[in-house]
Amino acid sequence: MKIFHNTRHAEHAGRQEMFRGRLVDCHEVPDRLRYVLDELQRRPMGQLLAPDAALDVDAAMARIHASDYLDFLAHAWDDWVAVDLANAERDALPSVWPLASKHGFRTDAPPLNFAARLGQYAFDSGTPLMAGSWAAARGGAACALAAAQAVLGGERFAMALTRPPGHHAGPNYMGGYCFINNAAVAAQALRDAGVQRVALLDVDYHHGNGTQTCFYERSDVFTASIHGDPRTEYPFFLGHADERGYGAGEGFNLNLPMPRGTGFDVWLATLQTALQAVADFAPQALVVPLGLDTFEGDPISGFKLRSGDYLQLGRAIAQLGLPTVLTFEGGYAMAEVGVNTVNVLQGLNG
């Protein structure tokens, strides 16, 4: 297995986020990845590599994300500091958002005010942006592209071990700690290389709204997600079972929401339903947005999986027999996230 590590991930280190009505210390922090790397030192699961600097990561991101959104991210920090030099000492968080056009707000006339532009491209106030956010997010996309190329080159499994995560980022928006959708970048790279059918299986506690949006009108990429019920769980406004795709994509999106408190037996049975749907699609490759926030001790989630259960998750994915790219997503129980991640990899390796 090849594991591509984002050496610039720690440049994105948020100070505070808005969480349940108050500013709190960020849950998504560099130590998340450090614990995984520490566990990989104890239990090596393959080659730990940096992506090739020659990869055309900008072109890969542009296949998923709108050009104006990418341009905004690339210059956001400089624009934020230009508003007030004192901003260099604090993260940028949005405070105003345009609602859908039916409410009378327009998005076809981009504002010049930075705070308004930040809100235009964000859907929550819990995703702080700082000086190193763009470099870290771009480095994550490079890891995803490198992992896709690895499986194209014959590897059965490859992982993009990176943060910030990605599956909440849509074509033209950020949120849920995510800026660039690494799983979508990997899936599109596989398609562009000639893989006719790609499946995405999202096992994060929170629905991958960004990934669903990227492929919702397409029949060449099947998306399946098992996650907390959006009636009570973030991101709330997508992830319902009746969202099946649109137009050419109708029938190629599967959401399997479950209530807070779901234990492993029910979760595993639901995973088997998702795996069967993936198998029925008959893909030639698989991308797994790997969230570990289904763990019973996760501070912002609500399922009841234990560390040993992630071995079974890895084994279940491996049974599909598909070339597979994994992208590191959620998981905020700091002391256990390394063990849980490497357990999945151990299960994959048999």
- Between helix 182-192 and helix 133-152 the angle, nearest 10°, is 40
- Does residue 97 have a pLDDT over 90? no
Whole-angstrom Cα distance, residue 121 to residue 256? 28
Percent of residues, the chain, with pLDDT higher than 70: 99
Average pLDDT over residues 2-6: 98
Kindly list the distances between the CA atom of residue 162 and the CA atoms of 96, 195, 264, 300, in Å, as whole numbers in the listed order.
29, 24, 26, 20
Higher pLDDT pick, 257 / 106: 257
Tell me the fold of 2-65+136-349: Arginase; Chain A (3.40.800)
Whole-angstrom Cα distance, residue 350 to residue 295? 21
**How many other C-beta atoms can be found within 10 angstroms of the C-beta atom of residue 117?**
17
Residues annotated as catalytic (active site), given as ranges: 168
Query: Is residue 71 packed enough to be buried (19+ CB in 10 Å), middle (13-18) or exposed (0-12)?
Result: exposed
Kindly list the distances between the CA atom of residue 226 and the CA atoms of 62, 106, 319, in Å, as whole numbers in the listed order.
28, 34, 18
What pLDDT sits at residue 19? Answer: 82
Across all residues in the chain, what is the average pLDDT?
96
Whole-angstrom Cα distance, residue 88 to residue 129? 11
**How many other C-beta atoms can be found within 10 angstroms of the C-beta atom of residue 327?**
31
What pLDDT sits at residue 281? Answer: 98
One-letter amino acid for residue 259 of the chain: P
DSSP state of 196: S
Whole-angstrom Cα distance, residue 258 to residue 233? 10
Spell out where the chain has E strands. 2-5, 16-19, 22-25, 47-49, 157-161, 198-202, 221-228, 253-258, 285-290, 324-328
pLDDT in tens, 220-277: 999 999 999 999 999 999 999 999 999 999 999 999 999 999 999 999 999 999 999 9
Contacts of 283 (CB under 8 A, 6+ apart): 195, 197, 198, 199, 222, 322
In which element (H, E) is residue 61 found? helix 57-62
What pLDDT sits at residue 101? Answer: 56
Secondary structure (DSSP) of 122-184 = BS-S---B-TTHHHHHHHHHHHHHHHHHHHHTT-SEEEEE-SS--TT-BTTBBBTTBSS-HHH
pLDDT in tens, 288-326: 999 999 999 999 999 999 999 999 999 999 999 999 999
What pLDDT sits at residue 107? Answer: 74
Average pLDDT over residues 162-170: 98
- Does residue 102 have a pLDDT over 80? no
Domain range list for the chain: 2-65+136-349
Whole-angstrom Cα distance, residue 310 to residue 3? 18
What pLDDT sits at residue 111? Answer: 86
Q: Hunting for tokens 């905004």 — which residue is that?
A: 72
Average pLDDT over residues 206-216: 98
Q: Hunting for tokens 């799983």 — which residue is that?
A: 183
Whole-angstrom Cα distance, residue 149 to residue 181? 17
Q: Is 0.95 surpassed by the pTM of this model?
A: yes
- Does residue 3 have a pLDDT over 60? yes
- Does residue 106 have a pLDDT over 80? no
What pLDDT sits at residue 103? Answer: 61
Kindly list the distances between the CA atom of residue 40 and the CA atoms of 90, 132, 150, 174, 336, in Å, as whole numbers in the listed order.
33, 25, 19, 30, 13
Average pLDDT over residues 22-35: 95
3 state DSSP class of 259: coil
Q: pLDDT-based confidence at 105, cuts 50/70/90?
A: confident
What pLDDT sits at residue 18? Answer: 87
What pLDDT sits at residue 195? Answer: 98
Query: For 95-99, 123-127, 178-182, 207-211, which range has the lowest pLDDT when averaged over its residues?
Result: 95-99
pLDDT in tens, 265-290: 999 999 999 999 999 999 999 999 99
What pLDDT sits at residue 100? Answer: 62
pLDDT in tens, 326-346: 999 999 999 999 999 999 999
